[in-house]
Structure formats: structure tokens, C-alpha cells
Amino acid sequence: MRRLDTLFIGLMLFSMFFGAGNLIFPPFLGAQSGTSYWLAMAGFIITGVGLPFAVLYAVSLVKGGAQTIGNRVHPVFSTVFMVVVYLSIGPFLAIPRNANVAYEMGVKPFLGQSLNSSLVLFLFTVLFFALVYVVSLNPSKMEKYMGRWITPALLLAMVVLCVAGFAKLDAPFQSPSAAYQSGAFSKGFLEGYNTMDALASLAFGIVILTSIQQRGIRDRKQLTNYTLKAGLIAGVLLSLIYVSLGLMGARMAASGSFENGTDILSAASTLLLGQSGKTLLGLIFTLACFTTVVGLTSACGQYFSNLMPKASYKSVVLAVTLAGFTLSNLGLNQILKVSVPFLVTAYPLTIVLITLTFFHRFFKQAKTVYGCALLFTGVFAVIGGLNAFGLKLGPVQTMSDLLPLSSVGLGWVVPALAGTAAGLAISRFRSHTPAVEKELKVS
């Protein structure tokens, strides 16, 4: 495969990752972390870039991808987990979130007060999802549309905004907010969940592997090699943009208080480039959200058409598009209320599952290890998710709060290690039991 093909696939992958959350959260982290910025950003990049890269690598290593990895726990777990992931990063959460953010940043700032915003949102999403549907129908041409045309335009717009920020913003970093005064790294680590890119990697893996296979690559080692190269291109670009946006947020903190990352970017773009800055920012958000929605729609189409052979790729894409369109018109606030609790539950399970994949051969592929580790992790991940909904669980909550790292939102780590250890002990006991029984029979 030509180097230029690898570059374009890497750019396509970047464009699929780079959506609403990737724009919103880094500048807000910068404004909130202040003088603790670099520590917080390091944590953010681990879960916002490093973890998605690791997931993509793990998926490329295994024939059958994420579904096969999940089967190592149990086929039922694999199917349920992957369906929940695809529905969440697809029509029920990430797709409507991106469409709403594209509207909020690309259209709403230019509306007059007299216009009916609900009607404009409806008309915008009709056009938005019609284009998504058309581009998603032909996965073989996605690299051409997104890697060669849309992504360069998006990157150029980002470069203009970031260069203007570096040239004109020189205010000193402020003191960290209360959330970042201690444990800035762990706070940034948790903020990286909000990009949803680790979950998206489970879905995007099949899209990237398909793009590579269409160029005649079939050998598993070569597939993994080209996937890593594409992932490295996307990862470097994401890291550079996260650091740049975070620095912009840290510099803007001296200008006042902001409720979220969109407020920071809106204020910064207007301050730096006037009315043109608002237009540029609208273009950035619209392109970024569009490419991500196309990537997620295509991934859902490929997964569910393989899971249900009677459902064609085209019919699944249509269903995902219609569902995303419908939920997008509920409004951004309603969508965001669901996202944080879900991510707090799903991310620990994903992290443990992918980590075990890299050590798979060291414990002889024992399903007991996967089962125990995911069970222990899942219990405390669900508790964390319920806490994010605002629910407290009495004595169970008290026990959970006593765990190491629970104060920084990582209470699942010790249970995950304990579950892995229990699985190893059980699998070794089972492997030795037949030998002992055989010796007893012989004697």
C-alpha cells in the first residue's frame, strides 16, 4: 500500500474521532486547571488519545475484531456489550450530540432573535442527516470524501484559529479551580472519557480495517501494521490540537468565567478574529461533527448488517440516520444528561477488556480471568455510573467510598486487579485439578 494511502486513511480516522467532545472539553480543561494545566492535559491525552490508540491496536490484532475480544468473556456478554456500545456511540448518544453541537455552534450564533430556533434546528438536521446518509452509503469512498477533502479543510481552519491564539493570547495561567487543586492528573484522566473515542475505536476499527483490505491487504500482521500507522497519524494530530485548544482555554481564563468549552471558543474566536472568527468556528464545528457522524453511521451500518444478515447495510444506515435525526431534535442538554453516567460505567469495562487482550497469551486464554475481572470491574463501574446520576446506595456506597482511588473517580481499579487475581487463581486451580485426579487414580 502506498504511503499516501496510509496518510489519507490516517486523516480519515482523525476526522472520525474529531467531533464535538474533542473541541469542547480541552479548552474548558485548560481554563479550569490553570497552573496545573500540563498535569491535567497529560491525563486527558492518556484516555483521549492513548486509550483509543490501544483499543484500535487490540482490535487489529484479533480476527473478528471487538466481537471476538468480547467472546473471550462470553458470547452473550460480547453481543450485549457491543450492541450497547454501538447504540450509544451511534444513534442514541454520540450522533445526536454531534448534530446538536454542529447546530449550536455553526448555525445558532447567526440567527436573529425573531426566528423559531426549534424550527431552524429541525431544518438544519434534515439537511445534515441527508448528507450523512448519502456519504455513509458508500464506505469505499469515505476515505476520498473525508481523508482527501473534508479533513484538510478542517485542519486548515484549526491551524488558523490556533495560530491566531498563540499570537494574540499571552495572559498568564490562573490558579486552578477547586476541581483541579489536587489530583489534576486524575481529573484530566476522567475528562478524557468525555471524548468517547475509546468506545468509538471499538467501532471504527472495522471501518479502518475495511479501508485497508480494499487495497488488497489480507495478511494479519500487515493489517495491524497499517492500522498502527493510521492510528499514529490520527493520534499525533489529536494530541497537537488538544494541547493547542487547552492552552487557548488557559490563556482565556483571565478574561472572565466560562460555563463550558463552547463559551471559551466562541469568546476566543471573536476576540482573535472578530466576526470572521465566529464564522471560522462555525465551520470547524460543522465539519468536525459531520465527519464524526458519518464515521459512526458507517460503523453502525457495518456492525449491525453483519450481526443481522437479513438487515442490509443500506437499511441499517437509514435506520441509524432516522434515529439520530429524531433524537437530535430533543435538544443538547437532554442528551448530555445521559452521557456522563454512561461513560463512567462503560469506560472501566473497556479499559479492563483491552488491557487483558494485550496479556492474553500470558494466562493461556483463560475465560475465567476475563469473566472475574469484568465482573468485579462491572459492579463498581455501575456504582460509579449511578453516582453520576446523583444516586447514593447507602451501605454499598459507604463500602465503595472506602476503596483506594475512589475519591478521584477510579474506585474500580482495585476491584479490577482483585478480579484478575481471582480469575488467575481459579484458572490455575482448575488446570491442576485434572492432573491431581489422574495421579490419585494411578496410585
> What's the confidence (pLDDT) of residue 140?
66
User: In this structure, are 180 and 256 located in the same domain?
Assistant: yes
The yes-or-no verdict on residue 65 having pLDDT over 70 is: yes
- Distance, CA of 311 to CA of 6 (rounded, Å): 31
Rounded Cα distance between 199 and 269, Å, is 30
**pLDDT value at residue 396:** 80
* 366, 325: one domain: no
Q: Cα separation of 91 and 316, whole Å?
A: 11
For 16, the grid coordinates are 472520525
**322 Cβ contact partners less than 8 Å away, ≥ 6 residues apart:** 129
What value does the mean pLDDT take over residues 260-278?
87
Q: Which string of b and e fits 339-353 if b means at least 16 CB within 10 Å?
A: bebbbbbbbbbbbbb
pLDDT tens, position by position, 129-180: 999 999 888 766 666 666 677 778 888 888 888 888 888 888 899 999 988 9
Q: Single out the residue in 332, 348, 367 at which a domain terminates.
A: 332
Between 209 and 313, the higher pLDDT residue: 313
Q: What range does the domain containing 365 cover?
A: 359-443
pLDDT at position 144 is 66
Asked if residue 393 and residue 321 are part of one domain, the reply reads no
pLDDT for position 377: 92
**pLDDT of the residue at 443:** 46
* Percentage with pLDDT > 90 across the chain: 26
Task: Check if the beta carbon of residue 44 is closer than 8 Å to that of residue 192.
Answer: yes
Tens digits of residue pLDDT in 177-227:
988 988 899 999 989 888 888 888 887 777 788 788 888 887 788 888 998
Statement: residue 434 has pLDDT above 50: yes
Q: What mean pLDDT is predicted for residues 16-39?
A: 90
Task: Kindly tell me if the per-residue pLDDT of 388 is higher than 80.
Answer: no
Section 327-335 average pLDDT: 73
The answer, yes or no, to whether residue 57 has pLDDT greater than 50, is: yes
In the chain, the number of structural domains is 2
CB atoms within 10 A of CB 13: 32
Q: Which of 111-115, 275-279, 332-336: highest mean pLDDT?
A: 275-279
Q: Report the Cα 228 to chain-centroid distance in Å.
A: 17
What is the overall mean pLDDT for the chain?
A: 85
Q: What is the pLDDT of residue 29?
A: 95
Question: Is 248:169 a contact under the CB 8 Å cutoff?
Answer: yes
DSSP, residue by residue, 330-367: T-HHHHHHHHHHHHHHHHHHHHHHHHHHHTGGGGTT-H
Q: Is the per-residue pLDDT at 94 higher than 80?
A: yes
Q: What percent of the chain has pLDDT over 70?
A: 92
Handedness of CA 11, 13, 14, 16 (dihedral sign): positive
Q: Is residue 241 part of a domain?
A: yes
Asked if the model's pLDDT at residue 334 lies above 80, the reply is no
Domain boundary among 292, 313, 332: 332
**Predicted confidence band at 292 (pLDDT cuts at 50, 70, 90)?**
confident
- Kindly state the average pLDDT of the residues 86-90: 84
Same domain for 318 and 399, yes or no, is no
Residues 147 and 10 in one domain: yes
Is residue 119 one of the residues assigned to a domain? yes
Choose the most confident range, by mean pLDDT, from 111-120, 257-266, 314-323, 358-367: 314-323
Is residue 142 within 8 Å of 9, Cβ to Cβ?
no
Question: What local confidence, expressed as pLDDT, does residue 440 receive?
Answer: 46
For the cut 70, the answer to whether the pLDDT of residue 356 exceeds it is: yes
Q: How many CA atoms lie within 13 A of 273 on its CB side?
A: 18
**Overall average pLDDT of the 294-321 stretch:** 91
CA gap 142, 137 in Å, rounded: 9
The DSSP element (H or E) to which 3 belongs, if any, is helix 3-17
The answer to whether residues 153 and 215 belong to one domain is yes
174: helix, strand or coil: coil
Asked if the structure places residue 16 within a domain, the reply is: yes
Q: Of residues 87 and 147, which shows the higher confidence score?
A: 87
Report the pLDDT averaged over residues 38-43.
96
Residues 328 and 367 in one domain: no
Is 154 within a domain? yes
**What are the tens digits of pLDDT across the range 236-252?**
999 999 999 999 999 99
Q: For the domain that residue 315 is a member of, what is the CATH number?
A: 1.20.1740.10
DSSP 55: H
